[in-house]
Amino acid sequence: MALFEVRVPIATVWTEPDAPRHVDRPAVLDDPDLGSWTAAMDAEVRGGLKGRILTQLLLGEGVRIVEEQADWVKVVALVQPSSLDPVGYPGWVRRAHLGAPVPREDGATALVTAPSAVCDLEAGPRVELSFGTVLWVDDIDEQRVTVLLPDGRRGVLPLEDVRLSNKGEQPTNGVGDPLADARRFLGLRYLWGGTSSFGLDCSGLVHLVYRAQGVVIPRDAFDQVEAVDPVALDEVRPGDLYFFARPGERVYHVGFVSRPVGRDGSRWMLHAPEGGELIEDAPLALHRRDSLVAAGRLPMPHSG
């Protein structure tokens, strides 16, 4: 399987090449316009993404092509583990959204830690990158970092918008607080399949935040629950994860524990509610309390 990297700020992964609707055209242009796409969608249009979008990929993210169909390719995303495929998360993307990998295996990387960051391309327009994007460093000065991009391109980012690493690893090892990073997205509208600062779903929020900390967790909630260390529901602490399932069904929702359990038994969660709502930090509603089935914790990497 041929190795490629995402060459656009965000590549959306679809269930089939014919899954995008006319209203989704901005997302599948050769140079996708995620801002226009997400801004134009009302609740009904957003709801129609279910069954069409699977996930999203950030600039520089590695994939392997397993099938080709005209200007579409089926890929597996290498840093989005999934029970759907042992290699990575499978789905269809536009061929134009992929490019030749950066020829580097070690060295410094820059992780976008701002909710979004403007990258000035040396040959081309400026583009907006999402939180969590990891790129190889080419040069650094007092205010800017020059990064290497797929297809032999370069770009420049404000130094204040990134965190540098010299560990020669992707994703960058983090030294931050997952819950604090998750709070950056309060008020962002839910997007089915979203894994970027343009829109997130519940498991996309968890996956993106932990990936920025150097912890690669599966993409979907039903896989994430299998990847954590179980924690008793009454012993959770902020930064842990709550998981939800209906009787006899697999886990369908996940969120961050945002406060210790109250003396009155109240529980708070920071999460991306399904149905096109805004990411919130709020007490569990009754239907959430009734479907809460598990909690878990992920070990964090040490800095240094």
Domain 109-165 indexed as CATH 2.30.30.40: yes
Catalytic, 97? Answer no
Would you say domain 178-297 falls under CATH 3.90.1720.10? yes
Q: Do domains 109-165 and 178-297 have the same CATH topology?
A: no
pLDDT in tens, the chain (304 residues): 689 999 999 999 999 999 999 999 999 999 999 999 999 999 899 999 999 999 999 999 999 999 999 999 999 999 999 999 999 999 999 999 999 999 998 889 999 999 999 999 988 789 999 999 999 999 998 899 999 999 999 999 999 999 998 654 444 444 568 999 999 999 999 999 999 999 999 999 999 999 998 899 999 999 999 999 999 999 999 999 999 999 999 999 999 999 999 999 999 999 999 877 899 999 998 889 999 999 999 987 654 4
Longest dimension (CA), the chain: 59
Catalytic option among 22, 202, 287, 302: 202
Token code pair at residue 216? 């690669």
Residue owning tokens 């597996």: 76
97, 119, 207, 253: which one is catalytic? 253
- The pTM assigned to this predicted structure is 0.93
Dihedral of CA 275/280/284/286: which sign?
Answer: negative
For the chain, which residues make up each domain, given as ranges?
Answer: 2-99, 109-165, 178-297
Q: Is 271 a catalytic residue?
A: yes
Write the single-letter amino acid at 226. Answer: E
CATH 2.30.30.40, domain 2-99, yes or no: yes
119 as an active site residue: the answer is no
Find the catalytic residue in 97, 271, 287, 302: 271
